[in-house]
A and B are shown apart, each in its own frame.
Chain A
Amino acid sequence: EVQLVESGGGLVKPGGSLRLSCAASGFTFSSYSMNWVRQAPGKGLEWVSSISSSSSYIYYADSVKGRFTISRDNAKNSLYLQMNSLRAEDTAVYYCASYDILTGWGDWGQGTLVTVSS
């Protein structure tokens, strides 16, 4: 069974940093591109960042470019999102999701809540 489990969320002050993790199991993690998607309270889904299977290709939404860094450790079956210079508008539930070239974004974690507030 595929499992994606996010962790690392919490309350942080504006300007602070946080590192999110996503632990993957039940599939060959090293073969899949991975993504971070966020959802502000009561709002829709917003793509944040993507990383290819070997980390060769990395993409960011304009809203987080220069502040967030996506990475992965295929030996540890883990995906990360380093978030710096956090702003109130970064407050959201952050989901990790895997990407299958044939079937798309089929597996999602349960999400981790990041709250940026003083």
Chain B
Amino acid sequence: EIVLTQSPGTLSLSPGERATLSCRASQSVSSSYLAWYQQKPGQAPRLLIYGASSRATGIPDRFSGSGSGTDFTLTISRLEPEDFAVYYCQQALTFGGGTKVEIK
């Protein structure tokens, strides 16, 4: 069973700063099934990235995904106020525990 570990648990940053979120798999996984989601309180998850690096429809280009094998990264180049949320990675049917990006 694959386990996805996200780090850090919480990231405290200011608007305009760069956010780097990590997702580490317990064994090598296919990049084709690696996705990232954003979730705000009271809302459903929103697909940001699929296939490890492809942005979903309507997602701003400040969001980018990279990685392969066991290590994947979601980068938000310059945080906008609406980007403060919880982010989850997913590989097939497994979700990571999430990273909360909060305002510093």
A104 touches B44 (CB 8 A): no
B44 touches A106 (CB 8 A): no
Shortest A60–chain B CB gap in Å is: 10
Q: Does B81 contact A (CB under 8 A)?
A: no
Stretch of A9-17, A42-50, A79-87 that contacts chain B: A42-50
Given contacts A95-B45, A105-B90, contact A47 B95 (CB under 8 A): yes
A110 touches B47 (CB 8 A): no
Residues of B within 8 A of A (CB): 33, 35, 37, 39, 43-47, 50-51, 54, 56-57, 88, 90, 93-98
Interface of A: prevailing SS? strand
Q: Does A59 contact B (CB under 8 A)?
A: yes
Neighbour of B45 across the interface among A50, A59, A61, A108, CB < 8 A: A108
B35 touches A44 (CB 8 A): no
Can you name 5 A-B residue pairings with CB atoms under 8 Å?
A: A44-B97, A46-B95, A103-B50, A104-B47, A106-B56
Contacts of B50 in A (CB 8 A): 103-104, 106
Residues of A within 8 A of B (CB): 37, 44-47, 50, 59, 61, 95, 103-106, 108-111
Contacts of B56 in A (CB 8 A): 103, 106
A44 touches B95 (CB 8 A): yes
Seed contacts A37-B45, A110-B43; 10 additional CB < 8 Å A-B pairs: A45-B37, A45-B39, A45-B95, A47-B93, A95-B45, A104-B33, A104-B47, A106-B56, A108-B46, A111-B44
Given contacts A104-B50, A105-B35, A106-B57, contact A50 B93 (CB under 8 A): yes
B47 touches A59 (CB 8 A): no
B47 touches A45 (CB 8 A): no
Instruction: Give the complex CA separation of A103 and B48 in angstroms.
Output: 10
Name the residue in B44, B45, B94 with the highest tally of chain A Cβ atoms < 10 Å from its Cβ.
B44
